[in-house]
Each structure stands twice: as structure tokens, then as C-alpha cells.
């Protein structure tokens, strides 16, 4: 249940044009393209259903899939519909219509660290308030006289109020955003429960009532924040596994031309049949076959074996493996997006986005 925190992406609403979005998309062939957008405010099953359903209703969209671990929605769409080129900016507007900002996905590590720190501080504040109010409540439960009881209730109210505003802002902001767009999410009942318990307790305190529930209010907030913080940390760990694999892929490679000239190209510009030079200490950018040279290759990313294996002309090497000793000339066998490393990353993201039976039940309940 990671909270609605903006990432370090470029906001599309005012900055990114349709042409820039089109260039950010990737051609899949057969008249289809795919575009990935960051949706940092998505955090629950209801968010997935709303965003995916809204996108799939568009005639040009073939498939839409939201991954909560990476907070990214992957949209597969047709180049043209009825002879007109598809406008990727319409996807941003569709997502915005559901109450979520869409961004071009970039590195979110710094934003995640900032959100984690904010959540931890909020947990500490709520825990401090809950502990101190509970101490005052024990005295009330033990049979304090009316004057002492009223005094302790007022002190509890003053402790709970700033804790409620500071630590509960994650739930309140999300609930208000959902209601503003005409639907609910799981933070709406949470916010109602916390606010109602506080104001009912305050009403009882003003009228010298015997019972108040400030301890329950702050304790509920404390435990809910613990759950949200743990969920954020687990998602961050899952996201780090994917990003760790992605970092193993080089940004480019040295291509050997027909005339022997060497040209460093970005990884997306490497095509099957290109001859690449792989120096000692470099990782392979794409799946390839050794043309000349001999070396030792670290295959630990593939099979977990730390012992290097020899590479000879004719041997097939996979993207992400590490060249250890000698220089090699290899021939690219596939594009980067179809390499072994890209397939592993895709499978990991698909596994994170998969839904178990009980999670599907919870998602349906969240939509009610």
C-alpha cells in the first residue's frame, strides 16, 4: 500500500507533447507500439482496475497492464485507427480522468527513498502519540475522578490532533483525490474511521463524557502506517531486483564496420548481424556468437556458477554475461529488447504483476 508520492519523472500534463510521447514509445511491428508511463499514485487493486479498464475502452488500445511494484502502466496500441495516427497524449488524459497523474517513467530511486523516510517519520509520530495517550488512558480506566479524567482527555486530544494531521495526511490526500473524481478507494473508509473516532471523542470530551477513544484513533493510525510502510519497503525491494538486472545491461557497444572502423552505438541501435568488439571486463550488450578471439566468460548471471567458462569461435553468448580475460569479436544474434537479459527482466516484472487467487478476491472487494 505504498502512498501517493510523485516520482522523479517528467510530468506530461504541461511539458510533454504528443510527438515526444510517440518517440518514447517502442515499435513492436505489425502496426503496434508499446508505451510505458509511470503512475506513482497507484497503490491498490482498485487503482489497477480503474486505470486498465479506462485504457482498454479506447479503440486504439490492444492491451494495458499496470504493475504496482514498479508503478508503471504498459500500453500496447495500434499505430493507426481508421486511417488516423494514434495520439499517445490521449492515454495521459484518460489516466488523469481517473484521478491519477501519468509521467514518462524514469529513475524513481530518489523519490522512493524520500517517501520511505516520510513514512518512517509518520510511523514514529503516530507511535509516540499512541503510546503517550495510552498511558493517560490507563489512569482514566483505573478510576480517576471526573476532573482528572476530563484533564487527561483534553491532553489526549491535544496530543492526537497534530499526530492525526501529520501522520494521517497520506490517507487523507488519497481519499480526497478519489472522492474528487467521483469514486472511492481503500483510504476513504480508513479516513472516515480515523476522523469519526477523533471527533466523537472530542465531542465526548467537550461534554465531560465518561469515555473517549483518542487512544484507539492514534493506535489505528499507527498500525495502518506500519502496514503501509512495510508494503512500500517490500515493493521497493522487488523493484530493486528488476533495476539491478537492468543495470547489468551496457548502455551501448562498439560496432565494427565493414571497413574495420569502430563506432560506439547505443544498445537500441544494434541490429542482428552487426559485429561487435567486446573487451576484457565488458558485459555483452546483446545475445551473440563468437566470431574470433578466445576468452573466459562469467556465466553467473545465467546459471549461478561462479567458475568462468571458456569462449571459443562459434560459441553462443548471452546478454549480461561478463567477458573476463581476452578481447572478442562477436556477431549480434538479436536486438537488445529480444535478448536473454531483457526476457528475464520481462518475466520478473510479469511475476510481480501477477495476481494470486486471494489477491483477486481482495481487489474485487476494494472496488465496492
Alpha carbon 110 to its chain centroid, in Å, reads 13
Between CA 31 and CA 35, with CA 34 as vertex, the angle to 5 degrees is: 140
Q: What pLDDT is recorded for position 284?
A: 86
Number of helices (H) and strands (E) in the chain: give both, helices first: 11, 17
Question: Is the torsion defined by CA of 77, 82, 83, 87 positive or negative?
Answer: negative
Q: What pLDDT is attached to residue 112?
A: 60
Report yes or no: 64 and 70 within 8 Å, Cβ to Cβ: no
C-alpha cell at 42: 497507484
**What is the per-residue pLDDT for 96?**
83
Which pLDDT does position 360 carry in this prediction?
56
72 contacts 37 by C-beta, under 8 angstroms: yes
Sheet-wide strand order for 309-311: 309-311, 295-298, 322-323
Please give the pLDDT value at position 11.
39
Low-confidence ranges of the chain (pLDDT < 50): 1-15, 107
Task: Note whether 109 and 3 are within 8 A (CB).
Answer: no
Amino acid at each position: 500500500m505504498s502512498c501517493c508520492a510523485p516520482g522523479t519523472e517528467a510530468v506530461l500534463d504541461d511539458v510533454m507533447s504528443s510527438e515526444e510521447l510517440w518517440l518514447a514509445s517502442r515499435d513492436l511491428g505489425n502496426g503496434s507500439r508499446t508505451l510505458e508511463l509511470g503512475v506513482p499514485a497507484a497503490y491498490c487493486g482498485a487503482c489497477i482496475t480503474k486505470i486498465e479498464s479506462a485504457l482498454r475502452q479506447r479503440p486504439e488500445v490492444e492491451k494495458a497492464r499496470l504493475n504496482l511494484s514498479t508503478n508503471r502502466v504498459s500500453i500496447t496500441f495500434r499505430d493507426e485507427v481508421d486511417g488516423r495516427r494514434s495520439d499517445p497524449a490521449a492515454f495521459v488524459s484518460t489516466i488523469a480522468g481517473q484521478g491519477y497523474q501519468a509521467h514518462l517513467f524514469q529513475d524513481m530511486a530518489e523519490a522512493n527513498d524520500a517517501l520511505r523516510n516520510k513514512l518512517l517519520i509518520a510511523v514514529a509520530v503516530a507511535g509516540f502519540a499512541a503510546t503517550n495517550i495510552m498511558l493517560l488512558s490507563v489512569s482514566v480506566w483505573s478510576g480517576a475522578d471526573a476532573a482528572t479524567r476530563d484533564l487527561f482527555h483534553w491532553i489526549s486530544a491535544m496530543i492526537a490532533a497534530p499526530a492525526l494531521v501529520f501522520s494521517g495526511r497520506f490517507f487523507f490526500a488519497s481519499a480526497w483525490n478519489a472522492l474528487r473524481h467521483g469514486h472511492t478507494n481503500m483510504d476513504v473508509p480508513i479516513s472516515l474511521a480515523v476522523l469519526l473516532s477523533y471527533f466523537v471523542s472530542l465531542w465526548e470530551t467537550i461534554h465531560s463524557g465518561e469515555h473517549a477513544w483518542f487512544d484507539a484513533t492514534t493506535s489505528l493510525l499507527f498500525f495502518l502506517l506500519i502496514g503501509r510502510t512495510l508494503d512500500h519497503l517490500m515493493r521497493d525491494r522487488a523493484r530493486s531486483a528488476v533495476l539491478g538486472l537492468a543495470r547489468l545491461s551496457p548502455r551501448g557497444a562498439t560496432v565494427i564496420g565493414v571497413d574495420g572502423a569502430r563506432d560506439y552505438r547505443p544498445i537500441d541501435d544494434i541490429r542482428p548481424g552487426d559485429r561487435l568488439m567486446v573487451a576484457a571486463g565488458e558485459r555483452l550488450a546483446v545475445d551473440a556468437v563468437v566470431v574470433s578471439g578466445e576468452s573466459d566468460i562469467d556465466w553467473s548471471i545465467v546459471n549461478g556458477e561462479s567458475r568462468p567458462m571458456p569462449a571459443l569461435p562459434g560459441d553462443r553468448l548471452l546478454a549480461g554475461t561478463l567477458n573476463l580475460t581476452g578481447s572478442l569479436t562477436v556477431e549480434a544474434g538479436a536486438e537488445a529488447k529480444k535478448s536473454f537479459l531483457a526476457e528475464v527482466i520481462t518475466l520478473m516484472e510479469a511475476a510481480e504483476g501477477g495476481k494470486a487467487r486471494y489477491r483477486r478476491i481482495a481487489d474485487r472487494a476494494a472496488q465496492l
